[in-house]
Structure 1
Amino acid sequence: MAGAPSQCVFCQKASNPTPATLLHSDDKVIAFQDIRPAAFSVCVRPPAFDEFSADLPLCNPRNAAFWHYLVIPVQHIPTVNDLRRGEEDYALVSHMLGVGRTLLQRDAPQAKHRFGFHQPPFNSVDHLHLHCFGLPFTPKWKFVKYLSLGPLGFIEAEKLLEKIKPS
């Protein structure tokens, strides 16, 4: 991760992932549960889990939510504004979305899913990260943080893919 800021919390997480909290890992991305989930579910292990995964820490008792995942690139990319129209960035965002969809289909198959990115200046961490939600939001007012407000606010993953699709 050459050029990545040493203080970037997501770069640190990508370079030294904790297996117990990791939902997915490959050479391009990692996925993990958001530490302050905005989407709600009860603290019940999804039926897709078996006795071999029974001790995976998927439920955070502090907030009783686990259907808010983040998918981040291993390589440091600050924000959606740093993505360019072309094969490489399009493939990366497509892969991030594919990982997010797979995780939510596995863990929250009955929930409505939503995927997107915060755009500057409303991003909390300067490292590209895809929010993956199994809805609903709780409390309900939290949806405001994820409103699509044109060039500001939240951009749906599919809309970002349209913007960076190769010509």
Structure 2
Amino acid sequence: MAGAPSQCVFCQKASNPTPATLLHSDDKVIAFQDIRPAAFSVCVRPPAFGEFSADLPLCNPRNAAFWHYLVIPVQHIPTVNDLRRGEEDYALVSHMLGVGRTLLQRDAPQAKHRFGFHQPPFNSVDHLHLHCFGLPFTPKWKFVKYLSLGPLGFIEAEKLLEKIKPS
């Protein structure tokens, strides 16, 4: 990862992944659960059980399923501001979104999904990362961190793709 800061936590994770914590890995991106999830469900519905029932023993906070994943490029890209209109960046972000959608369809098919990126100065890590949520946000106040605030704050993945779509 030429040019990547040695202290970048996501570069370290991408170059030295722990297979047990990875949800997805390929030559372009890796995906893993956010360490501070903003969205989770306390009622887990394994596919084998069919329809959800509040009577299931799985419906308690000890068995919460967290649906807040991050998809990051293996190559160091600091922020959305470093992406350019063109085929290469468009293909990368499209791939990131595809991986996120696949993971949430598998793990949280009944939940509404949301995908997006923090924009500077509100990004916490200077390594591009796609947030993938199975809603709702829990606790509910955490949604504030993911508000779309125009050129600042959070940008939906589809909106970013529109901005960088090749001409």
Normalised to the residue count of structure 2, the TM-score between the two structures is: 0.89
Report deviation, 1:137: 0.3
> Which deviates further from its counterpart, 60-69 or 81-90?
60-69
**Contact 1:77–1:128 under 8 Å retained in 2:** yes
Structure 1's unaligned 5+ residue stretches are: none
RMSD (Å), alpha carbons: 4.6
Going from structure 1 to structure 2, the CA distance change for 1:43 and 1:110 (only over 3 Å counts) comes to closer
**Contact 2:115–2:130 under 8 Å retained in 1:** yes
Going from structure 1 to structure 2, the CA distance change for 1:56 and 1:34 (only over 3 Å counts) comes to farther
Task: Give the number of equivalent residue pairs.
Answer: 167
**Contact 1:36–1:63 under 8 Å retained in 2:** no
Going from structure 1 to structure 2, the CA distance change for 1:129 and 1:41 (only over 3 Å counts) comes to same
Percent identity, aligned pairs only? Answer: 99
Normalised to the residue count of structure 1, the TM-score between the two structures is: 0.89
Instruction: Determine helix, strand or coil for the equivalent of 2:40.
Output: coil
Report deviation, 1:47: 2.3
Going from structure 1 to structure 2, the CA distance change for 1:22 and 1:118 (only over 3 Å counts) comes to same
Q: Aligned partners of 1:113 and 1:53: how far apart in 2?
A: 21
Report deviation, 1:66: 1.4
Report deviation, 1:44: 3.3
Q: Which has the larger radius of gyration?
A: 2
Report deviation, 1:61: 8.0
Report deviation, 1:33: 0.2
> Which deviates further from its counterpart, 149-158 or 56-65?
56-65
Going from structure 1 to structure 2, the CA distance change for 1:89 and 1:48 (only over 3 Å counts) comes to farther
Q: Aligned partners of 1:73 and 1:101: how far apart in 2?
A: 16
Instruction: Determine helix, strand or coil for the equivalent of 1:142.
Output: helix
